[in-house]
Structure 1
Amino acid sequence: MQTPRKNERRHGTWRCWITLIAAIALLAIPTGQSMFGPQVAHADQAADDYAAAVGFYKQSRWGLAEEAFKKFLKNNAKHDRAPFARLYLGLSLTNLEKYDEARTILRAFVKDFPANAQVPQAMYRVAESSYFLDDLKGAEAEFTAFLAKSPEDALREYALPYLADTQLRLGKPDAAAANFQQSIKLFPQGKLLEDSRWGLAKSFDAQQKFPEALVLYREITANRAGVRAAQAQLQIASRLFEQKDFANAAKAYTDLEKNFPESKYVPTSRLNAGYAFYELKDFKAATTQFELAAKEPEQAPAASYWRGMSQKQTGDLPGASAILKAAFEAHSQNPIAEQVLFQWADCELRLSQFDSAELHFADVAKRWPQGQWADDALYFAGEAALQRANRTANAETRSAAIQAAEGYTKQFAATQPNSGLKFYNDLLRGRVLLARGSDADATAAIELFKGIVGSTQRPQTQLQARYHLARAQQKLKQHAAVIETLTPVIEQVRKEGAASEFIDSLVMFASSLLVEKKNPEAVTAATDYIRLIPKGEQLDQAFVSKALAEANQKQFDVAKQSMTQLKAVLPNSPLIVRTTLQLAEAAYSQKQFDASLEWYAVVVAAGPQSPHFVPALSGQAWSQFEKKQFKPAAESFGQLVKEFPQHALAPEAAFKLGESLQLDNQLEAAAKAFGEAFESYSPGNYGYLAGLEAARTLRRLNKAAEADAAYEKLLVKFPKPQNLDKLFDEWALLNYEAGRFERSDAIFKRLIAETPTSELADNARFSLAESDLLSSVNPDDGSVIVAKLESAKAAFQKLEQDPKSDVDVQQDSLWRLMQIAEQQKLWDEMAKSATSLRTRFAEGSHKSDAAFYLALSHLQRQQSELALELLKPLAAAKADPAMRDKDWFPRVFVLLAESQWQKKNYADVIATVSDFRAWDAKNRLLYQAEETLGRAYKSQGKFDEARAVFKQVIDDPNGKRTETAAKAQLMIAETHYLQKDYKAALESYLKVDILYDFPEWQAPALFQAGACDEQLGDWPQVVRDYESLIAKFPKSEWAEKAKPRLETAKQNAKK
């Protein structure tokens, strides 16, 4: 603000004395003398010219007097009236205010005529001229000289005040005060009394004797008719203003107009009254005074400016803007125009008229690049441009505004390097970078803000930098950094309370605390904001952070209260529905499905016009799903798919619809839903999953053919899905389990061909090998298809040796090789496979299988002792359920008994068979063990017991017509033969050939039948017996043995 105007001329206050003093000069002639010279009857021309000049002087015709006296002196330099002419010329010139010329003439007069009686008056006029020429040092010396020379001269009444004023103006208030006081003392009723009192008051002012000065001013003012009264009133007001007594100053200023309405100081008092009211913050009264003051053209620029500022302070920004606009347009060339334009721009900025604000601020910087507002103007032009960018929805306009803002910050940096606003401009640069929006710009802004925090010594600037640094960090999701950055800011906010510039940082702080799962602290920060600023701009966001943090702590009832409060104070906040959705999601993530379902339902109830409707409907369905409310879940998922089939969540919902129906055991509906989802949302992850589940659901429905078709369709649309090998394997097993082996094999072949490096490729190869193995037996006659068997065998051998085959496949392949070896009766190969299995996979899944087949190979190679070592532990494990499930386990008893028989441990044979019978009396292989038992009895000569057991074997339904039964029948014949009951033996031998179709046993039976006929002496029959044997079994060992005996029989038959 400007200081109040004094509105005093430097020396015009003393001008009123001149006329009076000039008149006195005519009376200052000594008695008996005349300035006009002696009277003559006939005046000469010179005398006439002189007389005329004096006449002009008497009539105050100063110009004519000057010319006349100059003419006279030019023509009559030696005239006896020339000294007086020079004096009158000097006096005329002083009256014409030609002080310099007057002083020169009068100084010469004093010098040339020191004894002249008019020298004192000339000396006075010389001093007076110096005074008016502002030659104050000269005036002081000359007035002093005058007073010293003529201490009693009448002009002393004027010389003393003039000298005092000169000294006052020379900064000598003590001397001035002394002379003013002397003037007042010497001339208490003098013509210049009021002026002297005025001067004395001014001297007291200069001496800072303000109380004494005010006393004098008030005395002067009391005489309202006095010429100095109004001026003294102005001084009273000014002194009060200077003492910051603005209330009394305002009254004093307004009293001036009231008491002296015609005073020339009224305009000044109005202006200064405006300043006083402004200082009192009585902006309405100030506006009134400034409006009145503006009527004076000279002070209209300042008055208009301060009227606008006063209006601005009342909060009437539109009114202030209009006043300042008019002021600028009217006084654009006035020095005050710079700040008028600046404040106009500021009003526009505060009114959010960012376009015009930017324009005007930029104009200030352009018009006055070195002005006092240049740096402020550039800074705020950038601020306005940034605000313009932040508030436009048009991308092109936003980009241009950001570019403009950046330009202002660069111009500021280049032209205002020493400005106190440097850090503010740096802050603005950082905010502009943030407005650009990219992560790279945010990173650059962070570095800029950090630099400010580390450089500035001003706490407030540090806090501002931290605030914006936190904004940039939050944009980059550096929430831990946000918390660290804002902690000092939050401490300051909590000290300052609601008035803090950074009150909004509480909300930012809370949101980052929320992300960092510091939920109690987030609640505290948000609660502080709500308490401090119950109507704050970010109140809804504060409630949101508070509610979410409470929900994260499972304080769902408290979170519900927070949302209720938000709805009460800001029922139309757009955050309500969104936050309710977030609360639902928070509850869902904590598996609080009752709470999540409730909140999701609230959002759904808001209606489909909400952008959050579909996510909420999806969340509602998921919550129902998690609560195992599969029927309602299916309805919700189904609604989403039906009403919003193109929504991003529709594919997921379509899949979950099928899954909900599936879990609700509505398999037919589930299969249909999965199928429709597959058709609608393929390609796409949920389309794939739906197609897969469609196939699986059809599989559960035992619709193998439809499931197979579904798998095939899935791979048409998704020919190379993730885990293709597993999908092939699943698809193949579907067909395998359904007995569709050819289809299964075809799929396994695709698995191998399309995913050859899959870890499941060996399983597929194993399955194909098994298929060859299974198909190697002719289903019609049980014959072996050697090519198939050998193909399977080769595949198993390759698999068990391939290091890429997994452990299970290697073990299973060795297991199958043992079975093939048994079928081919290749006991050495069986032993090799079993040994490899036991060595490589000692604790594997086929550990007991390997032991069994190795024992079998030993037994078949007559290594009964080795067989016994393996079989005994196996038999001892008969109580193990896992052993009972082995299809070969009953054979353990059979092989054990056979091994014991070979070792002639007949008692052990009997015990083993007894254990077998006790373990499972109805076992299908029991008859095989009993055949060995029969041989044990036979070997001990217990023929009756033997035949009884053999008869059980033959009659056993499991052994009937088997090879074992044929062997048992042969053993019955042997017992009769050994007892020389050849007829019974013959009958039993012949039954072997007649009833069974096993050449291994038929051939020896026929041979022994011939031996019985030999013992019975029926040689013709013997010949027939041997011929039949040789004919039926020509390649058997028994045919060879029968040939020599046949010749003997033929010889005997001829006898």
Structure 2
Amino acid sequence: AGQPGENAGANPLSPWLDKLLRAKLQAAVLLGDHSLADRTAQEFFQRCAESPLAAETARWQAQSLLQRKQFQEAIRVLESWSARASEEDLACHIRYLLAYAYQAVGRFSEAEAQLALLLQAQNSQWKSVAQLAQAGILVAQKQYAQAVPLLEAYLASGAGRQDQSAAQAQLALCYAWLRQTEKAQELYKVLAREYSGASWFGAWTEQLAEAALQTGDFLWARSLFEQLAGQADAAGRQRALLGLGWTQYRAGQFPEASATLGRLLAMDKVPPSVVAEAAFLRATILAKLRQPDAALGLFEMVVDKYPDTQWFGPALLAAGRLQAQLGQHPQAAQCFQRYVQSFPQANDLDAALYDWAWSLKHLGQSEEVLKLFERIHREFPKSPYWAEATLRLAQQAYQTEQYDRADQLVGAVLAHAANSDLRPYALYLQIQIAAARDRWDNVASLVQQLLREHPGSPLQVYAEFWQAELAFRKKDFVTAEKLLEEFGKKYPAPPAGLAPLVALRQAQLLAHQRHWEEVIQAARRIRETYPQFDQLYEADYLLGRALAMKARFDEAREAFQRVIRSPQGAKTETAAMAQWYIGETYFHQRDYQTALRAYLLVDVLYAYPQWQALALLEAARCHQMLGQPEEAQKLYARLLAEFPDTAAAQQYRQSLPGPVGQPSAGPSQPTSAPEGLTPEGPTPESPAPKGLGPEGPASEPSTPKGHAGPTSPKSSSRRSIPGRWKYGNIYILPV
């Protein structure tokens, strides 16, 4: 019905039928009998489609559809007649209704096009109506600044007195959204005097209060919501109390907001959506008031009872976060998992994944944690959590000696300009990776870059220690000693994780100076002061060396045994060295049988070729001293076959009396210097500091692992992912 040309061949039964049907349709619309209106319009276009009244009939049919908010059907009817109506007033009316329908469905540009045609009309009244409608479209699009001059011009023209109140109401809303509060309040007073009892006044006041709330005018918003709460019907009072609660919350009046929302939640017949919103907001407020149990109860109520409301997701996420704060990580992890599964397209999915990862970390599920960080890294390159997640993955790659991947990931973090706070930590991880690869020139340049670009950062103290460490690595012990002395003066109380390492380096420098008595005192002081130091086995190794050099062999072996039994050091090269030195102490006491067993344990228990080779060499010499030349020869042969490129093999070849490579009994004395234990091979140094760095106020940095000289293998021990510290709205990982 309503389309021109439909049933064009139908002949009216009488000359007045079209007039009668049009009048019947008009009456049905005015009376609100839309079922009758539909039947009448259908009959008209079946029987009178060619009537001159067809356009006007279509207009009444469209009005009926618009009253029922059937906008798409109204558009279908009106589009057919917008260009066909010959009489100007009717054509303007059709275009106006079509613009209204377009606006209702969000087709604003098409609505404006219809209004532009109205502005060209000869009838000044339609021009004024179009002007007001144009302003309405701009208001609907939140283009308040553009709407104001149109509304002011409309009111100044004096046209359309019947629509003056509507124009004033829209203009007041524009002023409120534009923070022109005095103008908005003046119009409100004018309209309140004349229209406070009108059906539209309450809804408009609610819109005005919302605008004041959203623009931060909490005083006026509170006044308007309080008026509505005292005057409106039950549903209006409920909305007003909810608005008042939001206003008080936004103004920081948390106890007052909680009380207001409590009044709302105590009311009868509150719609589920309003209950859910009020409960969510009150739970948020209670959490701020440090009433976590009550807050959690309300969040869980929304989750359990109102899963069909828009507040289900926010409540689920908030419940998980609050449970995490309370240490209830199993329940928190379930909330985060449920949120991720329920809202796979959520705007804050990255935040939920991040929070879930931290709860799983507290539950010790490291593999799942890394999977979630990997997902953030892969799926959310613009997330505020991307840089940290990527740095976490880089740290894990470093800890598992996947240095290429670690380099690639940390390079991506450094190229990610959005999060400059993570940059010093990424640089520091680059230092660690370069040190693990023995790229000391890279370490030096990166340390200088860190100090230059991030002065005063929490990492400055570590970078300055690295300057001394670099000198130590280069065997410039004089410079290392000087830098450590300056470091101690500048940082008399260094971070707890760094202090024992400084003490260890100072003890190692004393060993290089062969000040054995001072080494003994320094190593014992480390044991007493830092009993939880994860490199305590290094101090025990130094202590054993110094005691052995003073010929205090029993005490030395006790220190070496602590190295071997240490959970942190048991599989390191330091343990292999300690085991070798135990054999050496027995050899110097001429207990060759016990020395033999100690040396052979090095080959059996450890996989460090330099020390295995030395152990076979010394074990063979023990056989010689025990008068077992055949057994000695077997071990010399093994030395040459299994470790041909080691210093021990070369030393053995040089000791042979005949051509190189011919077997002989070998030397009958150990290679140690007469005064004590100074074998060829690695010097008593620790490896490059791995994991060293600040980890925020809650925890301390990991420290160097293992023991290695210039040619020795790296220790494989690493610390697990450390804790986090907070800045802004996301958590940052100090590496």
TM range (shorter): 0.5 to 0.7
Q: Equivalent residue for 1:934?
A: none
Give 3-state SS (helix, strand or coil) of 2:350's partner.
helix
Residues 1:638 and 2:638 are matched in the alignment: no
Whole-angstrom distance in 1 between the partners of 2:603 and 2:119: 113
For 2:586, the equivalent position in structure 1 comes to 584
How far is 1:365 from its partner? 1.9
2:308 maps to 1:262: yes
Equivalent residue for 1:439, pick from 475, 485, 493: 475
Give 1:184's match in structure 2, choosing from 226, 229, 234. 229
Q: Does 1:465 align with 2:502?
A: yes
Classify the secondary structure of the residue corresponding to 1:150. helix
Report deviation, 1:447.
Answer: 3.3
Equivalent in the alignment of 2:491 = 456
TM-aligned CA distance change 1:119 to 1:608, over 3 Å: closer
* Match of residue 862 from structure 1: none
Which residue type is aligned with residue 537 of structure 1? Answer: Q
What is the rounded CA distance, in whole Å, between the counterparts of 1:330 and 1:140 in structure 2? 48
Is 1:123–2:168 an aligned residue pair? yes
Q: TM-score, normalised by structure 1?
A: 0.44
For residue 196 of structure 1, the aligned residue among 218, 224, 240 is 240
Range with greater deviation from structure 2 (474-483 or 446-455): 474-483
Q: Is 1:233 aligned with 2:308? A: no
In structure 2, the residue matched to 1:536 is 567
1:231 aligns to what SS in structure 2? Answer: helix
Rounded Cα–Cα distance in structure 2 between residues aligned with 1:602 and 1:528: 14
CA contact under 8 A between 1:490 and 1:505: conserved in structure 2?
no
* Aligned residue among 397, 416, 425 for 2:463: 425
1:150: which partner in 2? 192
- What SS class does the counterpart of residue 184 from structure 1 fall into? helix
Partner of 2:75: none
Show CA shifts across 1:700-748 (max 9, x none): xxxxxxxxxxxxxxxxxxxxxxxxxxxxxxxxxxxxxxxxxxxxxxxxx
Moved more, 94-103 or 639-648: 639-648
Hey, what's the Cα distance between the residues in 1 that align with 2:250 and 2:159? 38
> Within 1, Cα distance between the matches of 2:510 and 2:585?
25
| Contact 2:523-2:540 within 8 A present in 1 as well | no
- 1:182–1:529: structure 2 CA closer, same or farther, 3 Å change rule? farther
Is residue 309–residue 320 contact of structure 1 (8 Å, CA) maintained in 2?
A: yes
Cα offset for 1:180? 1.6
Question: Partner of 1:328: helix, strand, or coil?
Answer: helix
Whole-angstrom CA distance in 1 between matches of 2:207 and 2:541: 72
Q: What is the distance in 2 between the residues matched to 1:351 and 1:334?
A: 26
Q: Of the two, which has the highest radius of gyration?
A: 1
Q: What do residues 789-847 of structure 1 show as CA deviations (whole Å, max 9, x unaligned)?
A: xxxxxxxxxxxxxxxxxxxxxxxxxxxxxxxxxxxxxxxxxxxxxxxxxxxxxxxxxxx
- CA gap 1:474/1:579 in 2 versus in 1, 3 angstroms: closer
* Cα distance, 1:320–1:518 mapped onto 2, change above 3 Å: farther
Aligned CA distance change for structure 1 residues 44 and 314 (closer, same or farther; 3 Å)? closer
CA distance in 2, matches of 1:220, 1:114: 44
Give the Cα separation in 2 of the matches to 1:163 and 1:102.
16
Pair 445,281 (structure 1): closer, same or farther in 2 beyond 3 Å: farther
Residue aligning to 2:709: none
Q: Structure 1: how far apart are the matches of 2:171 and 2:314?
A: 35
Classify the secondary structure of the residue corresponding to 1:75. coil
**Mapped contact 2:245–2:260 kept (Cα < 8 A):** yes
Give matches, 1:201-600, under 5 Å.
201-218=245-262, 220=264, 225-243=271-289, 249=295, 252-294=298-340, 295-368=344-417, 371-386=420-435, 388-389=436-437, 399=438, 401-434=439-472, 436=473, 439-440=475-476, 442-456=477-491, 458-460=493-495, 461-474=498-511, 477-480=514-517, 482=519, 490=527, 492-493=529-530, 498=532, 503-504=536-537, 507=540, 510-511=543-544, 514=547, 536-538=567-569, 578=580, 581-585=583-587, 588=589, 596=591, 599-600=594-595
RMSD of Structure 2 on Structure 1 (CA): 5.0
The answer to whether the 8 A contact 2:430-2:446 is kept is yes
Deviations 1:47-76 (A, max 9, x none): 445554665578686668766665455434
Following superposition, the deviation at residue 410 of structure 1 comes to 4.2
Q: 1:925-978: per-residue Cα shift (whole Å, max 9, x none)? A: xxxxxxxxxxxxxxxxxxxxxxxxxxxxxxxxxxxxxxxxxxxxxxxxxxxxxx
- 3-state SS, counterpart of residue 148 of structure 2: helix
Once the 2 structures are TM-superposed, how far is the Cα of residue 138 of structure 1 from its aligned partner? 1.9
Cα distance change of structure 1 residues 44 and 199 upon mapping to structure 2, 3 Å threshold: same
The residue type paired with residue 567 of structure 2 is: G
Change (3 A) 1:88 1:466: same
Q: CA distance change for structure 1 residues 84 and 473 in 2, over 3 Å: closer, same or farther? A: same
Alignment partners' CA distance in 2, 1:445 and 1:122: 81
Question: For the structure 1 residues 58 and 575, does the alpha-carbon distance in structure 2 shift closer, same or farther, using more than 3 Å as the test?
Answer: closer
Deviation at 1:184, TM superposition (A): 0.3
Aligned to 2:726: none
Instruction: Call closer, same or farther: CA 1:409–1:370 in 2, change over 3 Å.
Output: farther
Rate the CA distance shift 1:682–1:458 in 2: closer, same or farther, 3 A. closer
Q: Distance in 2 between matches of 1:468 and 1:606?
A: 29
Structure 2: tracts of 5 or more residues without a match: 1-65, 68-84, 605-611, 638-662, 670-735
Paired residues of 1:83 and 1:113 also in contact (CA < 8 A): no
**CA distance, structure 2, for counterparts of residue 647 and residue 54 of structure 1:** 106
Q: Indicate how the Cα distance of structure 1 residues 507 and 188 shifts in structure 2: closer, same or farther if over 3 A, else same.
A: farther
The answer to whether the 8 Å contact 2:351/2:385 transfers is yes
How many Å apart are 1:156 and its aligned residue? 4.0
Instruction: State the 1:379 CA deviation.
Output: 0.6
C-alpha contact (below 8 Å) 2:135/2:147 kept by paired residues: yes
The verdict on how the C-alpha distance between 1:383 and 1:130 changes in structure 2, with shifts beyond 3 A counting, is: same
Q: 1:581 is matched by which residue type in structure 2? A: G
Partners in 2 of 1:605 and 1:418 — Cα distance? 52
Partner amino acid for 1:164? A
How far 1:526 sits from its partner (Å)? 6.0
Q: Distance in 2 between matches of 1:527 and 1:603?
A: 12
Query: What amino acid maps onto 2:408 in structure 1?
Result: L
Work out the CA distance in 1 between the residues paired with 2:365 and 2:594.
Answer: 46
Whole-Å separation in 1 of the counterparts to 2:236 and 2:385: 39
Give the AA of the match of 1:466.
Answer: A
Judge conservation of contact 2:279–2:298 (CA < 8 Å) in 1: yes
In structure 1, what is the Cα distance between the partners aligned to 2:465 and 2:597? Answer: 43
What letter is aligned with 1:337? W
Specify whether residues 385 and 525 from structure 1 end up closer, same or farther in structure 2 by C-alpha distance, changes over 3 A only. Answer: farther
Change (3 A) 1:685 1:513: closer
| 1:579 CA drift (Å) | 5.8
Q: State, as a whole percentage, how many aligned pairs show the same letter.
A: 14
Q: How far, CA to CA, are the matches of 1:527 and 1:682 in structure 2?
A: 30
Q: Distance in 2 between matches of 1:316 and 1:233?
A: 33
User: Once the 2 structures are TM-superposed, how far is the Cα of residue 197 of structure 1 from its aligned partner?
Assistant: 1.4
Whole-Å separation in 1 of the counterparts to 2:561 and 2:629: 41
Equivalent residue letter for 1:193: R
Residue by residue over 1:467-518, the C-alpha shift from the partner in whole angstroms, topping out at 9 and shown as x without a partner, is 444345445545455567667755542xxx54x5665565357446635759
Contact 1:381 1:408 in 2 (8 A): yes
Q: Write the distance in 2 (CA, Å) between the matches of 1:371 and 1:607.
A: 48
CA contact (8 A) 1:66 1:89 kept: yes
Q: Which residue of the partner structure matches residue 720 of structure 2?
A: none
1:182 aligned partner, one-letter code? Q
